[in-house]
Amino acid sequence: MDAMLFDVQCIQVWGIHLVVPILLVICIQLLWHHYNLRLADPANKLPLPPGSFGLPLVGESFSFILKANFIRMKRLTLGTVYKTHLLGRPTIRVSGPDNIRKVLMNEHKLVTSHWPKAVQNLLGDGALSMMTSGTSHKNRRRLITKAFTHDALEVYTEDIIAVIREEIYKWCQDKTVKAYPSCHHLTFRLAAEILVGFRFCKEKNDELDFHFHRFVNSFFTLPINLPGFNYRKGVESRNKIHELLDSNIKDRWETDAYSVNTLQVLLDAMKDSGEELDVLGVKEAVVELMFAGYDTVGSALCSVILKLGQNPHVLEKIRDELFVHGILEPSEDVTFAMVGKLPYLNNTVKEVLRTCAPAGGGYRKVLETFELEGYQVPKDWTVIFSIRDTHEHSDTFNKDLTFEPDRWINIEDKSVAHEFIPFGSGPRTCIGRFYAQLVMKLLIIELCRSTEFTLLDKDPVIKILPVFQPKGGLPMEIKKRTVIYQNNNFNAKI
């Protein structure tokens, strides 16, 4: 009898130990949900969109970062407008051309640029994308645009081709390479040498390359500056990058040598206006531009190799086009003007960007509450506009992600202005979009002219953060092309 009584008492004690924590968790979860609901605009009678705020404090951040299909499943179950809580912020995620148009075409009215705290801290106030003032952003953007004009791209073309050829030669020497890191090494060189005009020794260049890779990989993390966390590694690498750039910027400030690149444009503008050298501001602006010309462009170049490797008929049609225009042989010069006369090549690049958009979306902060699809988007919340979701569910493209450049023959860019948005849209459209497309085209031309390559994994698993990338790095076998090419069956109307 005593034993039975003891057992009952033990069960009661253990029951209390189990129930109390469960009740506490339930209460915390309810309070978290209630707290976020209070952030809605009480003056607006519309409901919040469907969705979940996730776990207390962290929201749905871990699912967003770790689950490859998280965004897609949310879109399929909740629609084109839904609420969540990501990277420390209550967030509305939107997709679809009408919603995208309303968000992006109302920059500085309904929304302004706003990135996760980690990105803000790492890039700094001198970065163009961090500027929330419409006037400051417009003036800086107009200034930097000088480095991406038609004339500037024409100047860059020869140097871009030279760097691409050097890197492809190394790939062929190695015989087997991983396309993803190799493409990023290529775009790092292009960003550092051509966009910014830096010339480092190999040791310094490799050091900067390493820190840039670690810096970029720390962007979409919780801003916890403690040992072992990716954010801490990002801060350390940012500081090292700034240190490496410091003397180079000061040297360039003290010389009057003319060159066409973003760093020179910024320095010349400061001199013309009588300003003192703002070393930190210039470093932050330069690092942002190198990041933009490095990570997303590197992803796009890797996607070029992925799609051409999966679709050899496309690669052959590009060779046909190059043959007809007299530039298939590696010894034949390619100019900026020639690149603009290759419609099938242009359509191939657009199809790569449509099916494998490097960036998944962009961030904005809501300046005043507005409506989307009958729901309120509250003031001070974050809005994420989804690029890949919008591409994937476009009616114009029949919700079809099959890779087929010919689909673009009868599609005008203006008709899909907010269904095809790899570079965003509106006042903050990516300033380097024409540069990125030029690099993609020149890589395709040199791959077609100079190499034969085979993917060793033709259907890789894709990661989407921080950018579109194949797991495993997309290994490929590559060798120098020796075929003498002839084709009289090319349809010049393509």
- Cβ-based burial of 411 (10 A; exposed 0-12, middle 13-18, buried ≥19): middle
Rounded Cα–Cα distance for residues 447 and 433 (Å): 21
Sign for the pseudo-dihedral over CA of 148, 152, 154, 158 = negative
Angle (nearest 5°) at CA 422 between 455 and 450? 35
Higher pLDDT, 29 or 71: 71
> Is residue 466 scored above 60 in pLDDT?
yes
Rounded Cα–Cα distance for residues 22 and 151 (Å): 66
The top-scoring range by mean pLDDT among 34-48, 90-104, 128-142, 221-235 is 90-104
Rounded Cα–Cα distance for residues 392 and 229 (Å): 33
Strands 382-386 and 89-94, sheet pairing: parallel
Rounded Cα–Cα distance for residues 412 and 347 (Å): 11
- pLDDT band, very low/low/confident/very high, at 238 (cuts 50, 70, 90): very high
Convert the pLDDT of each residue in 169-227 to its tens digit: 999 999 999 999 999 999 999 998 888 888 777 888 888 888 888 998 888 788 889 99
> Is residue 333 scored above 80 in pLDDT?
yes
Bond from prior residue into 466 cis (ω within 30 degrees of 0): yes
> Is residue 257 scored above 70 in pLDDT?
no
Convert the pLDDT of each residue in 73-128 to its tens digit: 888 899 999 999 988 889 999 999 999 999 999 998 999 988 888 888 998 887 88
Give Cα 251 to chain centroid, integer Å.
31
Q: What pLDDT is recorded for position 382?
A: 94
CA atoms within 13 A on the CB side of 458: 7
Strands 176-178 and 370-372, sheet pairing: unpaired
> Is residue 317 scored above 50 in pLDDT?
yes
Rounded Cα–Cα distance for residues 9 and 12 (Å): 5
Q: Domains in the chain, please, with CATH?
A: 134-480 (1.10.630.10)
From the list 79, 78, 92, 76, the residue with the least C-alpha distance to 39 is 92
> Is residue 433 scored above 80 in pLDDT?
yes
- 430 known ligand binder: yes
Confirm if 385 and 335 have CB atoms less than 8 A apart: no
DSSP letter for 469, please: E
- pLDDT band, very low/low/confident/very high, at 403 (cuts 50, 70, 90): very high
Confirm if 391 and 419 have CB atoms less than 8 A apart: yes
Beta strands in 68-196 (DSSP E): 81-86, 89-94, 111-113, 176-178
Higher pLDDT, 250 or 258: 250
Q: What pLDDT is recorded for position 9?
A: 55
> Is residue 153 scored above 60 in pLDDT?
yes
Q: What pLDDT is recorded for position 202?
A: 80
Q: Mean pLDDT, the chain, as a whole number?
A: 87
Long-range pairs, 246-250, Cβ under 8 A, ≥24? 246/279, 246/283, 248/198, 249/277, 249/279, 249/282, 249/283, 249/286, 250/277, 250/279
- pLDDT band, very low/low/confident/very high, at 10 (cuts 50, 70, 90): low
> Is residue 66 scored above 80 in pLDDT?
no
From the list 346, 345, 352, the residue with the least C-alpha distance to 318 is 345
Higher pLDDT, 308 or 208: 308
Question: In the structure encoding, which two tokens stand for residue 476, read together?
Answer: 């490929």
> Is residue 232 scored above 90 in pLDDT?
yes
Give percent above pLDDT 90 in the chain: 50
Q: What pLDDT is recorded for position 312?
A: 96
Give percent above pLDDT 70 in the chain: 89
Rounded Cα–Cα distance for residues 151 and 431 (Å): 15
- C-alpha distance across the termini of the chain, in Å: 92
Rounded Cα–Cα distance for residues 391 and 327 (Å): 33
Q: What pLDDT is recorded for position 246?
A: 84
Higher pLDDT, 376 or 207: 376
Distance set, CA 407 to CA 15, 350, 374, 401, 411 (Å): 64, 10, 34, 11, 7
- pLDDT band, very low/low/confident/very high, at 13 (cuts 50, 70, 90): low
- SS3 category, 92: strand
Rounded Cα–Cα distance for residues 396 and 414 (Å): 12
Confirm if 81 and 92 have CB atoms less than 8 A apart: yes
> Is residue 283 scored above 80 in pLDDT?
yes
- pLDDT band, very low/low/confident/very high, at 245 (cuts 50, 70, 90): confident
The top-scoring range by mean pLDDT among 67-81, 272-286, 413-427 is 413-427
Q: What pLDDT is recorded for position 492?
A: 38
> Is residue 4 scored above 70 in pLDDT?
no
> Is residue 32 scored above 70 in pLDDT?
no
**Average pLDDT value for residue range 403-413:** 93
Which residue in this structure is represented by tokens 């990516």? Answer: 430
Question: Edge-to-edge strands of the sheet including 451-455?
Answer: 176-178, 475-480, 451-455
Rounded Cα–Cα distance for residues 153 and 97 (Å): 30
**Average pLDDT value for residue range 302-326:** 97
> Is residue 60 scored above 50 in pLDDT?
yes
> Is residue 487 scored above 50 in pLDDT?
yes
- Cβ-based burial of 461 (10 A; exposed 0-12, middle 13-18, buried ≥19): exposed
Give Cα 176 to chain centroid, integer Å.
27
Q: What pLDDT is recorded for position 30?
A: 67
Q: What pLDDT is recorded for position 2?
A: 55
- pLDDT band, very low/low/confident/very high, at 493 (cuts 50, 70, 90): very low
Which residue in this structure is represented by tokens 């030669």? Answer: 169
- pLDDT band, very low/low/confident/very high, at 38 (cuts 50, 70, 90): confident
Which residue in this structure is represented by tokens 């679809």? Answer: 96
Sign for the pseudo-dihedral over CA of 52, 55, 59, 63 = negative
Give Cα 420 to chain centroid, integer Å.
15
Of 19-28, 123-132, 225-234, 306-315, where does mean pLDDT reach its minimum? 19-28
Distance set, CA 377 to CA 55, 57, 244, 399 (Å): 21, 21, 43, 26
